[in-house]
Amino acid sequence: MNTLPAAIKKRSARQFLFFWILPLAVIGGWRFPILGYLLPLCMIAGIGIAFFKGRYWCDWLCPRGSSWDLLLSRISLKKRIPLLFRNTKFKIFIMMVMMTVLFTQLPRAWPSIDGMGRVFVTMLSVTTIVGIVLGIPTHHRNWCTYCPVGTMGHWLGKGKYPLMISSSCNECKKCDTVCPIQIKRWQYRPENGDAFVIPEWDCLKCGLCIEACPQKALNFKTNYGGIYGKDF
């Protein structure tokens, strides 16, 4: 039985619960700067969840990620995300830029509640525009490969709730068509019978590849506490 359509529908419904927070903060924030505080709240939540489930936040709890999937995907060309955006140095560069902006602008706005809210709204607006402009000609989840919260989730979530692949994978690549972050799971197919941890910590834990796999070769390992690439 093909369970993929139902899984996609369920995921979209969950994303629908949260996507509206992004336009609310970006558009409404210019009138009500207090809405800008949704940004640090989301950052704290995303980083906190990473300790237990990696980038689970990014799949459907993140208002921006949900907006990318529900809205931006309709106009994105859905091409391969350029390797530059997956480069660790590039991710660190983006994180440093954003931290520098925050730590220089927030003290200047202090102690104005609205002033600091405007700093967050400005940052949210600029990064949303960047995500849209780069996401249309490449892939709608382009921003998610170098988003600082995602980068923190990548680092803090190593080994948390990992995806496993077994040797029953026949490299049909059907899972490639559903992965929002374009991970090639089949390249980690083990030769022997032991399942193998896929060392891709940008995985959003959406589970769509599990539903798409006709060989039932993929699954999450819920009690895995080891290091990446290690057999279990």
Consecutive H or E run containing 13: helix 4-18
**95 lies in the site for ligand SF4, by CB under 6 A:** no
Strand pairing category for 196-197 and 163-165: antiparallel
Which DSSP string corresponds to 38-68? HHHHHHHHHHHHHHHHTTHHHHHTSHHHHHH
Question: Which of residues 70 and 98 has its CB atom nearest to ligand SF4 in the complex?
Answer: 70
Question: Which of residues 83 and 103 has its CB atom nearest to ligand SF4 in the complex?
Answer: 83
Tokens at 190, concatenated: 């083990």
Tokens at 209, concatenated: 């590849």
The size of the interface with ligand SF4 (CB under 6 A), counted in residues, is: 28
Q: Kindly identify the residues of this chain, within the stretch 205-224, that bind ligand SF4 according to CB under 6 A.
A: 205-209, 212-213, 215, 217-218
CB of 181 to ligand SF4, least distance (A): 5
CB of 55 to ligand SF4, least distance (A): 8
Q: Kindly identify the residues of this chain, within the stretch 7-36, that bind ligand SF4 according to CB under 6 A.
A: none
User: Nearest CA to 198 among 187, 214, 210, 182?
Assistant: 187
Residue 18: other Cβ atoms inside 10 A: 18
Q: Kindly identify the residues of this chain, within the stretch 164-203, that bind ligand SF4 according to CB under 6 A.
A: 165, 169-175, 178-181, 183, 185-186, 203
Question: Which of residues 133 and 172 has its CB atom nearest to ligand SF4 in the complex?
Answer: 172
User: Nearest CA to 160 among 60, 228, 73?
Assistant: 228
Q: Which positions touch ligand SF4 (CB under 6 A)?
A: 163, 165, 169-175, 178-181, 183, 185-186, 203-209, 212-213, 215, 217-218
